[in-house]
Structure 1
Amino acid sequence: MSDQPIPDVRKSVTVNASVDHCFTVFTERPKDWWPETHVLVKKERAGLAFEPGVGGRYYEWDVEGNEIAWGKVLTWEPPYRLSMTWRIDGHWQSITDDERASEIEVEFTPVDENTTRVELAHVKLHKHGEGALGIFKALDGPSPGETLERFANAI
């Protein structure tokens, strides 16, 4: 593991939608906002899904039905918050456990009844080990970043 401290990466976007709608789009329609370049399956990706509730997976599958879990849901508090592990190694390759997985935290904060601030944070990046600093550098940049920009467009 890297002994260098790796900061969290936090991005946010404010969208014209209720907090309930934002949580639903995030958890029930990931294919609408998930970056097309973020793929772990080897064949053409056929779908993405979240299994609701703590302990559920968020995963993708290919056209042949092969599945790869991106991680496990750690917090499920609709419509305000969820968190999950991010099962990649320091070289952007899939790993099968959470020991070396960082975490992603997503918060949906109502600004008013028709506006929501969505914050996505990558935390505990040091757990990626040798390539953790490279992952930080790839994620760090201006808000909202590709994922939240696509999410805002899906809303």
Structure 2
Amino acid sequence: MPQQTIADVRKWVTVAATPEEAFKVFTERPADWWPPSHVLLKKERAGLAFEPGEGGRYYEWDVDGNQIDWGRILEWVPGRRIVMTWRINARWESLPTDDGASEIEVDFEPVEGGTKVTLAHVKLHQHGEGADRIFQALDGPAPGETLERFEHAVRLSL
């Protein structure tokens, strides 16, 4: 396995919801917060879903029913944490397996006034050549587009 040479990218947002409510929006309503530009399908995306529990997948499908997995669930702790593989390559294309995939960790921490949601892209070095480009694209100020959209979805859901 290659040495870790690329830093993790960690972003966060505080939402006015309990950790359980925030986890539910994250895992049961991804279409409400997932950026529309983050798509692996060739045709128009019709939906996104998380299969609950370790070993489940998170995936999207198009208008014809074709599916592409974004990855597999490695940890599933409702109201606290979800960890999943992230099956993309350095050209932002889908990987068919977890070989070469990095991971995404999402933690839900109770804080005064709600829940701090931290989303971290970790093990980016596993993308191999071009992993530095992935890091550069992800690195930036918190919360970033995904968590901004997530915060908005939580606000609308309560």
Shorter-chain TM-score: what band?
over 0.9
Partner Cα distance (1:17, 1:4) in 2: 35
Partner Cα distance (2:87, 2:4) in 1: 20
Counterpart for residue 31 of structure 2: 31
Are 1:102 and 1:128, in contact at CA under 8 Å, matched by a contact in 2? yes
Counterpart for residue 82 of structure 2: 82
CA offsets per residue over residues 9-35 of structure 1, 9 Å max, x none?
Answer: 000001111111100000000000000
User: Aligned residue pairs: how many?
Assistant: 154
What displacement does 1:3 show?
Answer: 6.3
Counterpart for residue 129 of structure 2: 130
Structure 2 unaligned regions, length at least 5: none
RMSD: 1.3
Compared CA separation, residues 82 and 3, structure 1 to 2 (3 A): closer
Counterpart for residue 109 of structure 1: 109
CA offsets per residue over residues 118-144 of structure 1, 9 Å max, x none?
Answer: 000000001111110000000000000
Stretches of 4+ moved more than 6 A in 1? 1-4
Instruction: Write out aligned runs for 1:23-102 (5 A).
Output: 23-102=23-102
Are 1:2 and 1:130, in contact at CA under 8 Å, matched by a contact in 2? no
Are 2:8 and 2:121, in contact at CA under 8 Å, matched by a contact in 1? yes
SS at 1:96 equivalent: coil
**Identity fraction in percent:** 66
Partner Cα distance (1:135, 1:33) in 2: 21
TM-score (ref. length: structure 2)? 0.94
Are 1:2 and 1:132, in contact at CA under 8 Å, matched by a contact in 2? no
TM-score (ref. length: structure 1)? 0.96
